[in-house]
Amino acid sequence: MREINKIIIHCSATREGQDISVDTIKRWHIEGNGWNDIGYHYVIGLDGSIYKGRPDNVQGAHTKGHNKGSIGICYIGGCDKDLNPKDTRTEAQKLSLEILLEGLISGYERRFLVSVHGHNEFSNKACPSFDVQEEYGRL
C-alpha cells in the first residue's frame, strides 16, 4: 500500500448539469495530456454515482507537485453556463463525496495522517469551485 497523506478534491470544469462520463475524462487525459490513464482515482457523477479511476495504489496525475502521497477525487461540474467557477454539486454529489471521504480517511488513517484539500490550495485555480476547508476541514 502506498503512503497516502492527503486527499485532493477537483471538479471537471464543465457546465452545471452537463453530464460527462469517466471515459470522457479519461480520453481528455490520455489524448489531450498524453498521460497513460485518467488522472483521478475517483469521479462522482451528477447522480452521485462514484466511479473508479486509477487504482488507489497507483500514483495519480491530478495536482502538479502533489500527486505522490495523495488521492484525487473529481466531481462532474464546477462551472456555470458561461464556464465561470460555480459550486454546482448536486445534493447526491455532496452526499457521495462525504461518504467517499469518510471511507477513505478511516481506511488510511489507521496507518497515515490524512488531510483533505481543494485543488486550489496547491494551484492558482478555482477548482473545485467551493471552499474545501470550510466544508470538510473537520474530517
- Report, as residue numbers or ranges, the catalytic residues: 10, 40, 119, 125, 127
Q: Residue 67: name the closest of 14, 131, 137, 117 by CA.
A: 117
| Helix extents (H) in 7-90 | 22-27, 33
Q: What is the CA radius of gyration of the chain?
A: 14
Report the alpha-carbon distance of residue 98 to residue 13 in Å, rounded: 20
User: 52: which strand partners?
Assistant: 42
CB count within 10 Å of CB 110 equals 8
